[in-house]
Chains A and B, each alone.
Chain A
């Protein structure tokens, strides 16, 4: 994929390649069409997804007993992944970044370091200053090829108020950072996500980008002028203000790209309706999955519809990068499991069996939602394999053990073969590395060229890769 993109002029990408909204992965990147023309087959793009659970796990319920038993007798926490364990990869020995001098803020750090492998700037705790996160590095590279550079999902408003160690509140509920100073908010309303993916208007929300082609073209030209004005303003302002305007400019450009994508899609649809060209969906690809937005407030249904949206976004190549904060460190409870206790309060269990049991149940519940998502991906055909074959889905937590706030052995599950780059179906019990190494490896496997390691990374974990046994 990386090679193809180099062949295409960027503007062309902007105008044309994001246009696959609502249609399964097209050949726009050339991966199927090129094959037709008899050249070497180009693979479908690799999609990269992250799903988070706070507070760590009960270790002896999570780690497989031995590499051999991983597939045959998985530990209780992984029960829901039976059937796709051969598509999964687990590795023990991934250390989190040590959080001193922020020892008093373990939960802000578990989330904000999760995809950055980097500590906040201790000199400016007041404001967000950490580093770009792995998902946004990927989005910067592949985001220009799709309608949305990345998708950020969550199930709780990101409004937690707490500032232990003087840290900005944003560190408690964000894990995606578009730059060192720019936290990326997540969407928590499935209907808004659906509208965003499909550019649909629903009653009350109305007026999303995407009117008539003429109106879209006009909007784009208008935005170009506004961008010009913003650049003028930027020149007149002090440096700190200029950074804010950079965020603005970056965001407006993303909107322009999206409008271009919509425009392209409308043209395609018109051509198809007129019988000029037929649908580009390949016979081997599954039709887009259906989204049912739940009416009740069952947590499993809520988490699953967000999973469905993630699957759909990947299936239709609307984005290639997603981050899903399954739950934040604060205030989540799971009445479906038969108790109302809040997650955090149970993780300080001091080995009391009832609390340990509740943490186990919560962990298994979260993994089951992840299993739901990856199983769905595995059920969808794409090219010669399944959608999951072309994904790298990482599930994990930012703590090892929520009772002690330890971070020496962070729990992760990787699902998907990453287009053949990962060797799945294995448990690696003695991997020595840190969370930065892991992120660096996953980005490399999804074809993102890195000019520097992520956070504290020092190496790639070649043991995880195909051929790296």
Chain B
């Protein structure tokens, strides 16, 4: 870790720092949680251990944070910020008074974090301001922003009833009725996980009805023909007498699977009304059941994950009932409905028990259906989702065929699955001595002699520059331009996707590489040109962090092949120094340095997976929860199955807020 030995990087107007992550500004949390004396730089202060745990410890931290706010932060803001961002002026649209009244409100989180970045960068207060804070005051403010999370009330976030995604809906129809999941292909494509748009439009509803018709045509027998196996399983034999009781039993069974929870009697009544409607229209028993099944397939209880149990009046936060938990878990890891075992545990009411839940996570992860976790989460995390469609310069890279792209994707997928299945440490994502190749992909590695044929297989690597996601062709290709590498894109990717830091976008109107004087750059390598670009002061602050990482990977060309020279014929210089004086000369050494940042790797992955699992961006209290998860996972060395199990067992995954906002707001009293 660089913590403690590196000064926080100063950046212009952005929150990008090499060292200042949430992990740095909070105490190392284990069983006990320590409050942070906010007046000194955290990294220099040995944590005071408070023999408290859980909610009591949090309460202590919350009080300390409030006290610091009242004693120090509020005066700081009033002294240095209010002239432009106070009651009278709102320069740049920034306006502090509401945030000062309720600093813990999630709505102002971004406000404070931006404040941290600009104060850190000495962007604010501006140079011409009358009063400038001392370095110690700046540090105090920044430390406090790091503790802001302690003002958030314990809040799991809303888990609004969620419509199944296109993928989930297709898989569920497959599991329920044995039809191909392809039947949903006409639906609009959607983003899964964090950023999922949980909305429904007439277009989709029309398609749901159309798909329901199609699915029933495929799964059920035509009139006058023998019933299909699915039909026999779902409908049973036609009863000789008491048709209604039989139909109600079928309805109960159908609803249990399709709604993924027991149906309430009122819900069965609706299905029976549909059955009666069919009978009134002279439909035979199987045809009446078919109409009932169609009603099931277009009902909100099927299309959405809904609770089985009505929340008690007045409650604000409730645990998920076991059926809802089973669905949430199953859709997270398998992208389909719960199987028989999960359903049985939900029926027994034991799924929420920590040991049971953890064991189920491990069981689900061993199943082939767990590839959904890569397709939904892993590919998004690694930025491989669009590999099939990315444009490449086909004259320069004729080998980027659909088959090779698939192999690149599968390499990452199989690698991800192997780490999950073997319960390896998250560090293996960065450093490993194996990968998965077929003949075509082996050519990219220069290993076409030893690996041939179309099937992917596990291959031992001897070149330590390879192995792990940093040297993986699909990822190297996705972080390149169509015709050349982009050290900047690669640098951003490593910082954001691997280490979990936020890199702000380039401001508009910034001169790019091509703007440079043609004569001056004629004989320069891409690296030399990029460095020239960094002499511009606007760009320098961010790029001096981004670029060295990207340069460290310059030995890999735009589709991931090893090279000693870049396109200009100049020798690749993959050496550099990261802030803090860690030097490297090869991709292997760069990987080695990044691999030592275990806590950051684990925190990043935990945050990204939790956000994906919750289908929302993390906020306030989630940061505290992540601290807890990280503390729990650290002793074991951040193993992947444990990490996934921890996310599934976490408070926000197992609970939901059912009111718009909690009434126990953590207002700071003056």
A residues in contact (CB < 8 Å) with B:
100-101, 104, 106, 122-128, 148-149, 152, 157-161, 163-166, 168-170, 174, 178, 181-189, 192, 196, 205-209, 211, 214, 218-219, 221-223, 225-226, 228-230, 232-233, 236-241, 243-245, 247-248, 250-252, 254-255, 258, 331, 333, 340, 342, 348, 350, 352, 355, 403-405
CA distance A448 to B646 in the complex (A): 53
Q: Are B201 and A251 in contact (CB under 8 A)?
A: yes
Given A163-B617, A232-B270, A248-B303, do A185 and B110 touch, yes or no (CB 8 Å)?
A: no
Given A106-B508, A159-B189, A238-B659, do A207 and B202 touch, yes or no (CB 8 Å)?
A: no
Which segment of B41-49, B208-216, B532-540, B566-574 sits at the interface? Answer: B208-216
Q: Are B93 and A127 in contact (CB under 8 A)?
A: no
Residues of B196-210 whose CB lies within 8 A of A: 197-206, 209-210
Given A101-B93, A248-B300, do A169 and B210 touch, yes or no (CB 8 Å)?
A: no
Q: Are A158 and B200 in contact (CB under 8 A)?
A: no
Q: Are A127 and B616 in contact (CB under 8 A)?
A: yes
A222 contacts which of B190, B295, B617 (Cβ < 8 Å)? B295
Q: Are B508 and A348 in contact (CB under 8 A)?
A: yes
Q: Looking at the assembled complex, report how far the CB atom of B318 sits from the nearest CB atom of chain A, in whole angstroms.
A: 9
CA distance A238 to B94 in the complex (A): 34
Q: Are B214 and A350 in contact (CB under 8 A)?
A: no
B209 contacts which of A123, A148, A255 (Cβ < 8 Å)? A255
7 A-B contacts (beta carbon < 8 Å): A183-B199, A185-B188, A232-B266, A232-B267, A236-B310, A241-B306, A350-B509
Determine the chain B residues whose CB is within 8 A of the CB of A178 once the complex forms.
199, 201
B residues in contact (CB < 8 Å) with A:
92-94, 106-107, 110, 158, 160-161, 163, 186, 188-191, 194-195, 197-206, 209-217, 266-267, 270, 273-274, 277-278, 281, 291, 294-295, 298-301, 303-304, 306-307, 310-311, 380, 385-386, 389, 391, 393, 482, 504-505, 508-512, 514-515, 616-617, 619, 658-660
Q: Are B202 and A250 in contact (CB under 8 A)?
A: yes
17 A-B pairs besides A214-B281, A350-B512 with CB distance below 8 A are: A122-B107, A149-B202, A158-B189, A170-B197, A184-B203, A196-B203, A206-B217, A207-B212, A207-B213, A222-B295, A229-B267, A232-B267, A245-B161, A340-B391, A348-B510, A350-B511, A403-B508
Q: Which residue of B lies closest to A136 (CB)?
A: B201
Q: Are A158 and B300 in contact (CB under 8 A)?
A: no
Determine the chain B residues whose CB is within 8 A of the CB of A223 once the complex forms.
209, 298
Q: Are B188 and A188 in contact (CB under 8 A)?
A: yes
Q: Looking at the assembled complex, report how far the CB atom of A254 sits from the nearest CB atom of chain B, in whole angstroms.
A: 3
Determine the chain B residues whose CB is within 8 A of the CB of A122 once the complex forms.
107
Q: Which residue of A lies closest to B192 (CB)?
A: A159
Q: Are B190 and A159 in contact (CB under 8 A)?
A: yes
Determine the chain A residues whose CB is within 8 A of the CB of B511 once the complex forms.
350
Q: Are A185 and B658 in contact (CB under 8 A)?
A: no
Give the one of B158, B199, B216 with max A CB within 10 A.
B199
Q: Looking at the assembled complex, report how far the CB atom of B152 sits from the nearest CB atom of chain A, in whole angstroms.
A: 14
CA distance A252 to B204 in the complex (A): 10
Q: Which residue of B lies closest to A105 (CB)?
A: B505
Q: Are B186 and A251 in contact (CB under 8 A)?
A: no
Give the one of B195, B291, B514 with max A CB within 10 A.
B195
Q: Are A255 and B205 in contact (CB under 8 A)?
A: yes
Q: Are A222 and B274 in contact (CB under 8 A)?
A: yes
Determine the chain A residues whose CB is within 8 A of the CB of B658 once the complex forms.
238, 240-241
Given A185-B203, A342-B391, do A405 and B295 touch, yes or no (CB 8 Å)?
A: no
Determine the chain B residues whose CB is within 8 A of the CB of A241 once the complex forms.
160-161, 306, 658
Q: Which residue of A lies closest to B287 (CB)?
A: A218
Q: Are A233 and B300 in contact (CB under 8 A)?
A: yes
Q: Looking at the assembled complex, report how far the CB atom of B320 sits from the nearest CB atom of chain A, in whole angstroms.
A: 13
Determine the chain B residues whose CB is within 8 A of the CB of A348 once the complex forms.
508-510, 512
Determine the chain A residues whose CB is within 8 A of the CB of B508 once the complex forms.
106, 348, 403-405
Given A123-B107, A149-B202, A159-B191, do A209 and B213 touch, yes or no (CB 8 Å)?
A: yes
Q: Looking at the assembled complex, report how far the CB atom of B381 sits from the nearest CB atom of chain A, in whole angstroms.
A: 10
CA distance A152 to B199 in the complex (A): 15
Determine the chain B residues whose CB is within 8 A of the CB of A245 once the complex forms.
161, 300
Q: Are B291 and A218 in contact (CB under 8 A)?
A: yes
Q: Which residue of A lies closest to B217 (CB)?
A: A207
Q: Are B213 and A206 in contact (CB under 8 A)?
A: yes
The 3 closest A-B pairs by CB, nearest first: A254-B202, A207-B214, A207-B213
Q: Are B391 and A333 in contact (CB under 8 A)?
A: yes
Q: Which residue of A lies closest to B281 (CB)?
A: A218
Determine the chain B residues whose CB is within 8 A of the CB of A244 once the complex forms.
160-161, 163, 198, 200, 304
Given A163-B617, A222-B291, A251-B204, do A169 and B189 touch, yes or no (CB 8 Å)?
A: no
Q: Are B616 and A126 in contact (CB under 8 A)?
A: yes
Q: Looking at the assembled complex, report how far the CB atom of B384 sits from the nearest CB atom of chain A, in whole angstroms.
A: 11
Given A161-B380, A222-B291, A247-B199, do A237 and B188 touch, yes or no (CB 8 Å)?
A: no
CA distance A397 to B252 in the complex (A): 53
Give the one of B300, B307, B389 with max A CB within 10 A.
B300
Determine the chain B residues whose CB is within 8 A of the CB of A258 once the complex forms.
202, 206
Q: Looking at the assembled complex, report how far the CB atom of B661 sits from the nearest CB atom of chain A, in whole angstroms.
A: 10
Give the one of B270, B306, B508 with max A CB within 10 A.
B508
Q: Are A238 and B295 in contact (CB under 8 A)?
A: no
CA distance A403 to B295 in the complex (A): 52
Q: Looking at the assembled complex, report how far the CB atom of A359 sits from the nearest CB atom of chain B, in whole angstroms.
A: 14
Q: Looking at the assembled complex, report how far the CB atom of A197 sits from the nearest CB atom of chain B, in whole angstroms.
A: 12
CA distance A236 to B301 in the complex (A): 13
Q: Are B505 and A164 in contact (CB under 8 A)?
A: yes
Determine the chain B residues whose CB is within 8 A of the CB of A196 once the complex forms.
203, 206
Q: Are B199 and A169 in contact (CB under 8 A)?
A: no
Q: Looking at the assembled complex, report how far the CB atom of A38 sits from the nearest CB atom of chain B, in whole angstroms.
A: 39
Q: Are B186 and A189 in contact (CB under 8 A)?
A: yes
Q: Which residue of B lies closest to A333 (CB)?
A: B391
Q: Looking at the assembled complex, report how far the CB atom of B167 sits from the nearest CB atom of chain A, in whole angstroms.
A: 12
Q: Are B200 and A247 in contact (CB under 8 A)?
A: yes
Q: Are A209 and B93 in contact (CB under 8 A)?
A: no
Q: Which residue of A lies closest to B618 (CB)?
A: A126
CA distance A47 to B669 in the complex (A): 56
Q: Are B512 and A100 in contact (CB under 8 A)?
A: no
CA distance A222 to B215 in the complex (A): 17
Determine the chain A residues whose CB is within 8 A of the CB of B619 once the complex forms.
126
Q: Looking at the assembled complex, report how far the CB atom of A138 sits from the nearest CB atom of chain B, in whole angstroms.
A: 15
Q: Looking at the assembled complex, report how far the CB atom of B521 sits from the nearest CB atom of chain A, in whole angstroms.
A: 14
Given A185-B204, A340-B391, do A206 and B199 touch, yes or no (CB 8 Å)?
A: no
Determine the chain A residues whose CB is within 8 A of the CB of B295 once the complex forms.
222, 225-226
Give the one of A186, A223, A226 with max B CB within 10 A.
A226
Given A255-B206, A350-B511, A404-B508, do A225 and B161 touch, yes or no (CB 8 Å)?
A: no
Determine the chain A residues whose CB is within 8 A of the CB of B294 once the complex forms.
219, 222
Determine the chain A residues whose CB is within 8 A of the CB of B158 once the complex forms.
240
CA distance A276 to B114 in the complex (A): 73
Determine the chain A residues whose CB is within 8 A of the CB of B617 once the complex forms.
125-126, 163, 166
Q: Are B482 and A340 in contact (CB under 8 A)?
A: yes
Given A170-B195, A244-B304, do A251 and B213 touch, yes or no (CB 8 Å)?
A: no
Q: Are A163 and B203 in contact (CB under 8 A)?
A: no
Q: Are B304 and A404 in contact (CB under 8 A)?
A: no
CA distance A228 to B272 in the complex (A): 13
Given A225-B295, A404-B508, do A161 and B205 touch, yes or no (CB 8 Å)?
A: no
Q: Which residue of B lies closest to A148 (CB)?
A: B202
Determine the chain B residues whose CB is within 8 A of the CB of A221 once the complex forms.
277
Determine the chain B residues whose CB is within 8 A of the CB of A355 once the complex forms.
514
Determine the chain B residues whose CB is within 8 A of the CB of A405 once the complex forms.
508
Q: Are B213 and A237 in contact (CB under 8 A)?
A: no
Q: Which residue of B lies closest to A351 (CB)?
A: B515
CA distance A255 to B504 in the complex (A): 44
Give the one of A164, A205, A222 with max B CB within 10 A.
A222
Determine the chain A residues whose CB is within 8 A of the CB of B217 once the complex forms.
206-207
Determine the chain B residues whose CB is within 8 A of the CB of A124 once the complex forms.
107
Determine the chain A residues whose CB is within 8 A of the CB of B200 once the complex forms.
182, 244, 247-248, 251
Q: Looking at the assembled complex, report how far the CB atom of A75 sits from the nearest CB atom of chain B, in whole angstroms.
A: 24
Q: Looking at the assembled complex, report how far the CB atom of A226 sits from the nearest CB atom of chain B, in whole angstroms.
A: 5
